Amino acid sequence: MSNTTTCRLKCQQCKTEHEYNLHESVNVTREPELREQLFSGELTRFKCPACGWTGQIWYPLLYHDMQRLFMIWQWPPNSLPEPVEALRGEAMAGYRLRLVANRNELLEKILIFEDHYDDRVMEVVKLALAVQAAKGSGRLIGDWFYAGTIPAEGGSGEMLKFEVLEEDTIYQTSAPRSLYDQLEAALSDKMPPEKQGEWVRINADYAYSVAKACT
């Protein structure tokens, strides 16, 4: 089941303190409504009872999908949670365990796994697209996030959607699914295998390391 706890938060605007019920973990197989609350922002939103200020609250949050066999932990960058021996048991065979630094990464990772993609390959896809986009400007632009799929023009195949966040602006772009398929085939023997029970960060740094190993 999902776990909640109560803490006290100080409003960023009026500085008054109030109790806040936060979800330390959510099991969306048993409580699917929590997934929708997470994506809408309701799950991690704080509204000050005194002044009405509203904002998103960051804290370590574990997302668990038992049906699709993955866990994603929103966890502080440059650190790792304590090892959990139970994660190495037979019940966890086939699970993908990921660490993410923020809400955008968390939502993206959920979409990638729900759409049955390998997030390791998807990070390399994003790097390839960012490098291609940078040819005109001479620099890598923004943070790239997978945002689902759309039908290709003419109804043949599908396109991968991406949102590019640069400062306060969000750009949308797409790429053919075939790019993912090509990179998946090319990287099949170059990526280290998954280790059961190990939390890992699969992000842009990972994509750079894979690209470097291929050169």
> For every one of its 215 residues, what pLDDT tens digit does the chain have, with 9 covering 90 and above?
679 999 999 999 999 999 999 999 999 999 999 999 999 999 999 999 999 999 999 999 999 999 999 999 999 988 888 766 556 667 788 899 999 999 999 999 999 999 999 999 999 999 999 999 888 766 677 899 999 999 998 777 899 999 999 888 999 999 999 999 999 999 998 888 888 888 999 999 999 999 988 87
Q: Are residues 7 and 88 in the same domain?
A: yes
Last residue of a domain, one of 114, 140, 168: 114
Q: Are residues 95 and 144 in the same domain?
A: no
Q: Are residues 7 and 91 in the same domain?
A: yes
Residues 72, 110 contacting (CB under 8 angstroms): yes
CA dihedral 43, 44, 48, 54 (to 10 degrees): -100
Strand partners, 98: 72, 200
CA distances from 133 to 177, 193, 208, 215 (A): 18, 30, 16, 20
Residues 206, 183 contacting (CB under 8 angstroms): no
Q: Are residues 139 and 204 in the same domain?
A: yes
Identify the domain containing residue 168 by its residue range. 119-214
Q: Are residues 88 and 154 in the same domain?
A: no
Tokens 């804290």: give the residue: 59
Q: Are residues 127 and 95 in the same domain?
A: no
Closest alpha carbon to 153 in 181, 174, 183: 174
How far apart CA 44 and CA 35 sit, in angstroms, is 11
| Number of separate helices (H) and strands (E) present in the chain | 5, 10
Q: Are residues 96 and 165 in the same domain?
A: no
Last residue of a domain, one of 44, 79, 114: 114
Q: How many domains does the chain have?
A: 2
How far apart CA 71 and CA 81 sit, in angstroms, is 13
Tokens 């023009």: give the residue: 153
pLDDT value of position 83: 67
Q: Are residues 60 and 14 in the same domain?
A: yes
Q: Are residues 190 and 163 in the same domain?
A: yes
Q: Are residues 128 and 195 in the same domain?
A: yes
Closest alpha carbon to 104 in 149, 145, 54: 145
Q: Are residues 194 and 124 in the same domain?
A: yes
Last residue of a domain, one of 84, 114, 144: 114
Q: Are residues 35 and 88 in the same domain?
A: yes
